Amino acid sequence: MPESVLAMILVDVHCHLDHACFKDKLDEVLKRAEEAGLKAIITNGINPETNRISLKLAEKYKMIRPALGIYPIDALRKEIEEFEYPVKFGEFDIDSELKFIEENKGKIAAIGEIGLDFVRSDEGQKKEQELLFRKFIELAKRIDKPIIVHSRKAELRVVEILEELKPKKVVLHCFSGRHHLVKRAIKNGWYLSIPCNIVRSEHFQKVVELCPLSHLFTETDAPLLSPYKERLNEPAFVVETIRKIAEIKQMDALEVANNIYQNYQRVFG
């Protein structure tokens, strides 16, 4: 039997199981996840359409829990236009989506995916994104849910806004900010969730070095960021992140997994 893998309890706190590439094979993907030891998978909506799919998936599969949100709006529009994400970008009303999320608060594990993405934004668009991000943080505070935050080319601004609004439970997903920002996030008591591409990313290896195990999470961002170049990512692969964290922290993989599961219960419980 290979190491203690079979006894591990694993969690994937950030992925996109609504993605069309999972459509015909979700049963197999979830079977592999269960065999790998996954106890919970948080699938993150990115717009009204995927928020609703996420809720449906959670109703159908016990292992799946939904997080609902709106992905940073300019990045969302661009990715959909370029067919990287197979959903439509219909115009939608932000306030009615916020209301929908609030009405479903009893069913959700978190608010996400939300955040800022300044890769292709002008000043006006950045302001608009910030406004939306603030609304979601206020909602999370009101309904007492953790937030799962995306940040790209906007890490400092994300940190500043979070410090100003002080939501209680913050998970920075795939955080690529500089080391001083990573340290600032840790000091603020936030959590960092580590994708499987840590197997080849020096940045995430360093994040794990800096962050105490009590503030780490594992995620896949599936179908993106696979640890294997030739395969789409899926929740079962979080075990790769666990192994790498164990190597960096010089701990037993089982102990790492158990600690991260305790974090999960504390934050998303």
Instruction: Give the separation between CA 46 and CA 18, rounded to whole angstroms.
Output: 10
**In the complex, minimum distance from the CB of residue 6 to Zn ion, in angstroms, rounded to a whole number:** 29
Buried b (16+ CB within 10 A) or exposed e, 229-264: eeeebbbbbbbbbbbbbbebbeeebbebbebbbebb
Site string for Zn ion, 111-150 (x = CB under 5 A): --x-------------------------------------
Alpha carbon separation from 134 to 50, 115, 131 (Å, rounded): 21, 9, 5
**In the complex, minimum distance from the CB of residue 262 to Zn ion, in angstroms, rounded to a whole number:** 24
* Stretch in the footprint of Zn ion (CB under 5 A) among 22-30, 192-200, 219-227, 250-258: 219-227
* Stretch in the footprint of Zn ion (CB under 5 A) among 24-32, 95-103, 108-116, 237-245: 108-116
Q: Which is nearer to Zn ion, 8 or 66 (CB)?
A: 66
* Stretch in the footprint of Zn ion (CB under 5 A) among 59-67, 177-185, 218-226, 242-250: 218-226
Tokens of 189: 């008591």
Size of the site for Zn ion (CB under 5 A): 2
**In the complex, minimum distance from the CB of residue 41 to Zn ion, in angstroms, rounded to a whole number:** 13
- Can you tell me whether residue 115 is helix, strand or coil? strand
**In the complex, minimum distance from the CB of residue 103 to Zn ion, in angstroms, rounded to a whole number:** 23
Q: Which is nearer to Zn ion, 221 or 234 (CB)?
A: 221
Alpha carbon separation from 241 to 39, 69, 171, 216, 260 (Å, rounded): 16, 25, 17, 11, 11
* Stretch in the footprint of Zn ion (CB under 5 A) among 28-36, 72-80, 106-114, 128-136: 106-114
- Can you tell me whether residue 183 is helix, strand or coil? helix
Instruction: Give the separation between CA 135 and CA 117, rounded to whole angstroms.
Output: 16
**In the complex, minimum distance from the CB of residue 130 to Zn ion, in angstroms, rounded to a whole number:** 19
Q: How far apart are the first and last CA of the chain?
A: 31
**In the complex, minimum distance from the CB of residue 112 to Zn ion, in angstroms, rounded to a whole number:** 8
Phi and psi (nearest 5°) for 104?
-100, 15
Instruction: Give the separation between CA 39 and CA 32, rounded to whole angstroms.
Output: 12
**In the complex, minimum distance from the CB of residue 54 to Zn ion, in angstroms, rounded to a whole number:** 12
Decide: 39 and 63 in contact? Cβ < 8 Å.
Answer: yes
Q: Which is nearer to Zn ion, 75 or 246 (CB)?
A: 75
* Stretch in the footprint of Zn ion (CB under 5 A) among 33-41, 105-113, 211-219, 234-242: 105-113
Q: Which is nearer to Zn ion, 71 or 261 (CB)?
A: 71
The residues of the shown chain that bind Zn ion, judged by CB under 5 A, are: 113, 221
